[in-house]
């Protein structure tokens, strides 16, 4: 999918996991010469270097990295749009993809300032651009809270009375609500990825985010939910391609989309266990997971060092509580809207899980966890 030569594309969050995957897709495409990136850096040269370092995680070659020009870097942060709002390069921008966010599942002090206040300030500045045609805001399907239906549809959320599991999802829901109410006539499209784990070709090479939770359960052979339950997981490269499809497609039928595996491609934990067995070569033919409560895990914490190596037991228990609750939701996120727009169907997590196993052999579960609790 391409845009007209006069169109300009602005992407934020390019030094992160999802934003990096987006930029990696753009880098070798015809759209790259008209792409600019908002990067937190003191100078364009340092911003380009930060970007290149991140793209190496996605396998970008030196030849592709040489395409990054300092002129494509706008130095700034979405929390302070006044510092770059007058940049002349913004005057030709027609498409904006906002991937910038604090995605920590811990109590990060910048979650609300970035994900809500910063997003609103940035959007307010961008919506005033003279040629803007579309602003894609990256949200999360997990704004469904702790009691979703078995199949979640885009128009079900956000809504009042939702009990959120972490501040991150609460902040994303609030940002959506305020964007819709504050800018009702803006060319806003919200894309909500489900649970992003690994890369369909590179495994966990770009990031260990969230994969460690599946590895943790498999190491313990314990779950806080029914092994027959499903979980909606997508790789970061599929997510990136889908976001670009929504950004660049000339017309869209809707204003909100799930970027998800959907009901038909969300594996059960029993299937995930079998995929681990194939990858680890341990001969299992079915899952060996014991269903336990959180209290059972607290009682078993003396075994954590056997299962995971050296670790902070308190942090491990906190992670088990959070991710155990997410895993127990059993929800799939309807993606018919996305597929009807012509996006490529998602792969199954179990089809590339072996790559996540291979690219994680040099890291422990506690080491992998840090990316989500920084």
C-alpha 153/C-alpha 166 separation (Å) is: 21
Q: Is the pLDDT of residue 2 over 90?
A: no
Residue 5 has pLDDT above 50, yes or no: no
**Nearest-angstrom CA–CA distance, 289 and 93:** 51
Residue 216 confidence (pLDDT): 96
The pLDDT tens digits for 198-213 are: 999 999 999 999 999 9
Q: Give 164-198 as a DSSP string.
A: -SSHHHHHHHHHHHHHHHH-TTS-EEEEEE-EE-S
- Give the mean pLDDT of 89-101: 97
Domain residue limits, the chain: 8-209+231-266+331-348
Q: Over the stretch 130-142, which tens digit does the pLDDT of each residue have?
A: 999 999 999 999 9
Task: Check: CB of residue 194 under 8 Å from CB of residue 349.
Answer: no
- For residues 92 and 8, the answer to whether their CB atoms sit within 8 Å is yes
240 with 196: CB under 8 angstroms?
no
Give the neighbor-by-neighbor strand order of the sheet with 35-39: 73-75, 35-39, 8-12, 93-98, 134-138, 188-193, 256-259
Distance CA 136, CA 209 (A): 23
Whether the pLDDT of residue 81 is over 50: the answer is yes
- Cβ atoms of 333 and 141 within 8 Å: the answer is yes
Q: What is residue 365's three-state secondary structure?
A: helix
Q: Which of 200, 233, 239, 221 is nearest to 327 (CA)?
A: 233
Sole residue written with tokens 């997590």: 349
Tens of pLDDT, residues 44-67? 999 999 999 999 999 999 999 999
- Give the homologous superfamily in CATH for domain 8-209+231-266+331-348: NAD(P)-binding Rossmann-like Domain (3.40.50.720)
What CA–CA distance (Å, rounded) separates 141 from 157? 9
* Span 284-331, pLDDT tens digits: 877 789 999 999 999 999 999 999 999 999 999 999 999 888 899 999
pLDDT in tens, 244-271: 999 999 999 999 999 999 999 999 999 9
Per-chain mean pLDDT for the chain: 95
Q: How does pLDDT run across 228-238, given as a tens digit for each residue?
A: 999 999 999 99
d(CA 317, CA 333): 27
With 50 as the cut, is the pLDDT of residue 194 above it? yes
Residue 237 token pair: 């490269």
What was the pLDDT predicted at 3?
A: 47
Contact predicate 127/186, CB 8 Å: yes
18-47 pLDDT tens trace = 999 999 999 999 999 999 999 999 999 999
Which conformational region is residue 293 in: left (phi greater than 0), alpha (psi within -120 to 50 degrees), or beta?
beta
pLDDT at res. 4: 43
Quote the CA–CA distance of 75 and 73 in Å, as a whole number: 6
User: Could you read off the pLDDT of 119-162 as tens digits, one per residue?
Assistant: 999 999 999 999 999 999 999 999 999 999 999 999 999 998 99
């Amino acid at each position: 999918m391409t845009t007209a030569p006069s169109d300009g594309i602005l992407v934020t969050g390019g030094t992160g996991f999802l934003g990096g995957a987006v930029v990696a897709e753009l880098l070798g495409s015809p759209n790259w010469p008209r792409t600019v990136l908002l990067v937190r850096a003191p100078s364009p040269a340092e911003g380009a270097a930060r970007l290149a370092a991140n793209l190496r995680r996605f396998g970008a070659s030196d030849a592709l990295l040489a395409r990054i020009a300092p002129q494509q870097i706008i130095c700034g942060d979405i929390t302070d749009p006044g510092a770059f709002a007058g940049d002349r390069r913004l005057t030709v921008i027609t498409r904006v993809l906002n991937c910038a966010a604090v995605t920590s599942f811990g109590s990060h002090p910048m979650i609300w300032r970035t994900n809500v206040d910063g997003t609103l300030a940035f959007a307010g500045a961008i919506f005033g651009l003279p040629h803007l045609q579309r602003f894609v805001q990256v949200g999360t399907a997990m704004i469904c809270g702790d009691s979703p239906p078995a199949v979640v549809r885009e128009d079900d959320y956000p809504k009042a009375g939702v009990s959120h599991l972490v501040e991150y999802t609460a902040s994303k829901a609030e940002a959506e609500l305020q964007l819709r109410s504050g800018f009702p006539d803006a060319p806003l499209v919200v894309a909500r990825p489900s649970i992003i784990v690994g890369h369909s070709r590179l495994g966990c090479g770009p990031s260990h985010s969230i994969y460690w939770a599946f590895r943790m359960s498999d190491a313990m052979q314990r779950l806080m939910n029914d092994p027959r339950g499903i979980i909606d997981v997508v790789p970061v490269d599929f997510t990136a391609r889908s976001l670009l499809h929504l950004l660049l497609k000339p017309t869209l039928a809707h204003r909100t989309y799930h970027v998800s595996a959907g009901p038909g491609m969300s594996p059960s934990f029993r299937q995930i266990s079998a995929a681990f067995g194939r990858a680890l070569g341990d001969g299992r033919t079915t899952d060996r997971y014991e269903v336990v409560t959180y209290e059972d895990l607290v009682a078993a914490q003396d075994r954590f060092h056997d299962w995971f190596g050296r670790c902070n037991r308190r942090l491990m228990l906190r992670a088990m509580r959070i991710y155990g609750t997410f895993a127990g939701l059993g929800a799939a996120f309807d993606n018919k809207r996305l597929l009807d727009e012509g996006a490529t169907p998602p792969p199954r997590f179990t089809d590339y899980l072996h790559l996540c196993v291979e690219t994680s052999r040099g890291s422990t579960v506690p080491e992998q966890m840090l990316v989500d609790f920084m």
